[in-house]
Amino acid sequence: MLYGHLAKANPQWRSAPTGEALAIFMGPEAYVRPSWFATKQETGKVVPTWNYTAVHA
């Protein structure tokens, strides 16, 4: 069983939960600087990126 929260201003809280649902669980995340990539030194052409993990259940 999963428990969730809806703001009282959201009219969905009045409806009984029915049907399917999607739960998203976020894991570790980190910013990766362009200088971390070897190609930055070779070509100078890279962009920053963001590494993350997530599970959709």
Q: What is the pLDDT of residues 11-31, one digit of tens each?
A: 988 988 888 888 999 999 999
The 10 Å Cβ neighbour count of residue 5 is 6
Closest CA to 55 of 7, 23, 12: 23
Q: Is 20 or 41 the better-scoring residue by pLDDT?
A: 20
Closest CA to 30 of 53, 2, 46: 53
Provide the pLDDT for residue 10: 92
Q: Which residues lie below 8 Å from residue 13, measured CB to CB, with a gap of 6+?
A: 6, 7
pLDDT band at 49 (very low <50, low <70, confident <90, very high): confident
Q: Where are the domains of the chain?
A: 21-56
Provide the pLDDT for residue 9: 94
Average pLDDT, the chain: 86
